Amino acid sequence: MNLTTQKRLAASILKVGLNRVWIDPERMEEVSMAITREGVKQLINNGAIKAKPQKGISSYRSKKLAEQKKKGKRKGRGSVKGAKKARNPKKQEWMTTIRALRKDLKEMRDANEIDATTYRKLYKMAKGGAFRSKSYMKTYARDHDLIK
């Protein structure tokens, strides 16, 4: 029994896809007799033809994954995409370093550990990239007797 026409008409009337049209297996004969839109509409009203519910996409897996990532898991070498500098750009790295150095210099100046001239000198050196970290800058200052 070929019900493609009925199925197509029902899909059009119900405004769903062909795969979502359900035809009652007990009333196949009755459905095959309906050849007009009106006939199909009557069958829909009678319950011989129905639209199946829409299938949803479960968010369970994505939620579980997000929870794991929140805990800091799934971040190993196998999950890393992009180069080291893509994940933490050079500029970002520089900004972090220089801000720390400048803050440290200001603290040293305010605490009178260094005078204004030394502060200026070290500030310019930091800007030029002479120090890779606060500890390197402090070591340099200590070695060159710049700290009072």
Domain ranges of the chain: 4-51, 85-143
pLDDT digits (tens, 9 = 90+) for 67-107: 999 999 998 999 999 998 998 999 999 999 999 999 999 99
CA distance 117 to 96: 25
- Of 3.20.20.70, 3.50.50.60, 1.10.1650.10, 3.40.50.620, the CATH number of 4-51 is 1.10.1650.10
pLDDT at residue 148, rounded to an integer: 84
The three-class DSSP label of residue 35 is coil
For 85-143, CATH number?
A: 1.10.1200.60
CA distance 49 to 24: 6
pLDDT at residue 141, rounded to an integer: 96
In the predicted model, residues of the chain with pLDDT beneath 50 are none
- Which burial class, exposed, middle or buried, applies to 131 when counting CB atoms under 10 A from its CB (0-12, 13-18, 19+)? buried
The pTM of the whole model exceeds 0.75? no
